[in-house]
Amino acid sequence: MKILKQWLDNKHHKEQWEDEFHDEENKVTIPLSKDLEKNIKNLEMLFKDCGDFVRRKFPVGINKEVNMFVAYIDLMIDRRIIEESLLEQLMLQVRSVPPHLDKIKSSIYEFIRDGGIATADIKEVDTLDEAALAILSGDTILLIDGYAKVIVVATKGWPNRGIQEPDSEVVVRGPKEGFSEALRMNTVLIRRRIRDTKLKVKQLQVGIRSRTDIALMYIEDIVRPDILKDVEARLKDFKIDGILDSGHLEQLIEEDWRSPFPQIQATQRPDKVASAILEGRIAIIVDNTPFVLLVPTTLNSFFQSSEDYYQRWAIMSFTRVIRYIAAFFAAGIPGLYLALTDYHPAMIPTQLTMAIAASREQVPFPSVIEVVLMEMAFELLREAGTRLPGPIGSTIGIVGGLIIGQAAVEAKIVSPIVVIVVAVTAISSFAIPDNALTVGFRLVKFLIIGFSAVMGLYGFLLGVLIVLIHLVSLKSFNIPYMSPFVSGGINQYEDIKDSIFRVPTFMMNRRPIFSRPDKRVRFKTKKKKNE
């Protein structure tokens, strides 16, 4: 009984210790003490069973009467900074400090700043939670006996992927840089392009356990205050264990989670983010992911590519028209084929009708089964090609598509015209520059196929009408999703100049509706262009 009681008491004390150490938001509540040994004990309890937790206690001063303590996480720090700027300075040069503890305590920060640490990026924190967070973030902490504060030295040096060309947004002309997984590196890539003191970087943390760093980047005098306030409110409106990618954050702060269309734009290109910030939009940069979120956004924004503004306006206007046509093909061609062939063959030219009928003469399935089978087969090939390694994935997509299509036609399972329809649909989906929008059209495609198979052309038009009504009803941070095609008068219809057609650069002299009304003018010239 005595042993059982002792075990229960120990368990009780342990649970009590855990409750005292952490609050509901998983923050450490134990205060710092002037007793170095007590602080070390608390830190070692926090990082118990952590094999990568490195710490060292050492004395300084002439008579080695002052003890100091450093701690960090292995491989998350730059060893050169630790050895040269911190330990060497403290263990060798600071030994000349007089052995008067009271004198050191009276001006400890000045002492460390001026002669103790050979680096400029240091700060003081006064809670154990901030100290633990600094360690977990890749910094090194310095504890001094008799001093109830912690000095944090910036020593981040974890491995990162570096700057590479984004593989999801390839351009012919323009920068080849892409974001990486390091937050600070991503902010630097944007600051290289916008050298303005009004470019602000507001840093937040999301995730009770992950403590993921998030940076909001915007230009102070261009961004709309109501949108900025709304973004900050949504980021603080939820509690979650961790944010591992910007996709988590996108789903938590979007306007309508039921919509298949994205209401927040994600990109890997720094030049695209810089351009969006100059328009008054807000960039949300999440640590540990190369995808940066842009808010607010519109449907028209997803059809724009960075390359559109680096090439001549005429060819890029033509390209924009092709993209919009491709979007219609990606969503509507299979449904339109079913509606015309099954319900309204009289609307098709006679020779084409006879050719379609001859190709389907020995096919045992109705047209809707053909289309659904081939569409699902292509979706499987697309998914398989994405998940497999690069060279194998492209091979599977090409060879698989050819073999399955040809074999299905020869086996009289599907008709050749259906293979052509599915191929045109697939090619059209690849012509849309944003992958998230492509996914939305892929889902809408099956909706329109269902309506067309049941009601023919009336069902096709009904499906298109439902999609358009849904798009018109969407908003992104109080900005109409279909702008500038709706609510264009908010900005005197100036945004039409950068929609389906792209006018020359000198004619786009106003910022879109994302910006403040008094900061819409962005281009002025003293010379008139030749007409």
Q: What is the pLDDT of residue 488?
A: 75
Q: What is the pLDDT of residue 13?
A: 46
Among 90-94, 141-145, 439-443, whose mean pLDDT is lowest? 90-94
**pLDDT tops 90 at residue 296:** yes
User: Distance between CA atoms of 363 and 193, rounded to whole angstroms?
Assistant: 59
Q: What is the pLDDT of residue 274?
A: 95
Phi, psi of 31, rounded to the nearest 5 degrees: -75, 160
- Among 79, 151, 156, 65, CA closest to 116: 151
| Six token digits for residue 457 | 């052309």
If pLDDT is split at 50, 70 and 90, which confidence band does 121 have?
A: confident
**pLDDT tops 50 at residue 225:** yes
Residue 492: which region, alpha, beta or left (left: phi > 0; alpha: psi -120 to 50)? left
HSE-CB at 167 with a 13 A cutoff on CA atoms is 3
- Sheet with 212-219, edge to edge strand ranges: 199-206, 212-219, 282-286, 292-295, 265-267
- Among 151, 127, 125, 124, CA closest to 29: 127
Q: What is the pLDDT of residue 165?
A: 85
Q: What is the pLDDT of residue 116?
A: 64
* Contact assessment for residue 152 and residue 123, using Cβ atoms and an 8 Å cutoff: yes
Percent of the chain residues past pLDDT 70, beyond the cut? 87
User: Distance between CA atoms of 420 and 301, rounded to whole angstroms?
Assistant: 30
Coil, strand, or helix at residue 246?
A: helix
308-334 pLDDT per residue, tens: 999 999 999 999 999 999 999 999 999
Radius of gyration of the chain (CA): 31
The ranges assigned to domains in the chain are: 22-153, 183-297, 309-480
User: Distance between CA atoms of 227 and 431, rounded to whole angstroms?
Assistant: 31
User: Distance between CA atoms of 412 and 281, rounded to whole angstroms?
Assistant: 53
Q: How far is CA 497 from its chain centroid? A: 28
- Of residues 285 and 388, more confidence is placed in 285
User: Distance between CA atoms of 151 and 68, rounded to whole angstroms?
Assistant: 11
Helices 183-191 and 270-278, packing angle to 10 deg? 60
54-110 pLDDT per residue, tens: 988 887 766 666 788 899 998 888 877 777 777 766 766 555 555 555 555 555 556
179-206 pLDDT per residue, tens: 998 898 999 999 999 999 999 999 999 9
- Among 453, 182, 269, 434, CA closest to 343: 453
- Of residues 489 and 2, more confidence is placed in 489
452-484 pLDDT per residue, tens: 999 999 999 999 999 999 999 999 999 999 999
**pLDDT tops 90 at residue 6:** no
Which distant-in-sequence residues (6+ apart) come within 8 Å of 208 by Cβ? 25, 26, 239, 240, 241, 242
Q: What is the mean pLDDT of residues 416-425?
A: 90
Q: What is the pLDDT of residue 18?
A: 47
* Contact assessment for residue 509 and residue 279, using Cβ atoms and an 8 Å cutoff: no
Q: What is the pLDDT of residue 112?
A: 66
257-281 pLDDT per residue, tens: 999 999 999 999 999 999 999 999 9
* Contact assessment for residue 381 and residue 397, using Cβ atoms and an 8 Å cutoff: yes
Q: What is the pLDDT of residue 359?
A: 84
14-66 pLDDT per residue, tens: 444 445 677 777 788 888 888 889 999 999 888 988 888 998 888 776 666 67
Greatest Cα-to-Cα distance within the chain, rounded to the nearest angstrom: 105
HSE-CB at 467 with a 13 A cutoff on CA atoms is 24
Helix (H) or strand (E) holding 418, with range, is helix 416-430
* Contact assessment for residue 187 and residue 285, using Cβ atoms and an 8 Å cutoff: yes
Q: What is the pLDDT of residue 26?
A: 78
- Burial of residue 424 (number of CB atoms within 10 Å: 0-12, 13-18, 19+): middle
If pLDDT is split at 50, 70 and 90, which confidence band does 4 have?
A: very low
The overall average pLDDT reported for the chain is: 85
Q: What is the pLDDT of residue 17?
A: 44
Residues 87, 91, 96, 98, CA torsion sign: positive
* Contact assessment for residue 498 and residue 276, using Cβ atoms and an 8 Å cutoff: no
Q: What is the pLDDT of residue 329?
A: 95
Q: What is the pLDDT of residue 243?
A: 92
∠183-187-193 over CA atoms, to 5°?
155
H helices within 107-182, ranges in order? 108-111, 128-136
User: Distance between CA atoms of 237 and 233, rounded to whole angstroms?
Assistant: 6
- Strand duo 122-125 + 53-60: pairing: unpaired
- Of residues 219 and 159, more confidence is placed in 219
HSE-CB at 169 with a 13 A cutoff on CA atoms is 31
Q: What is the pLDDT of residue 191?
A: 94
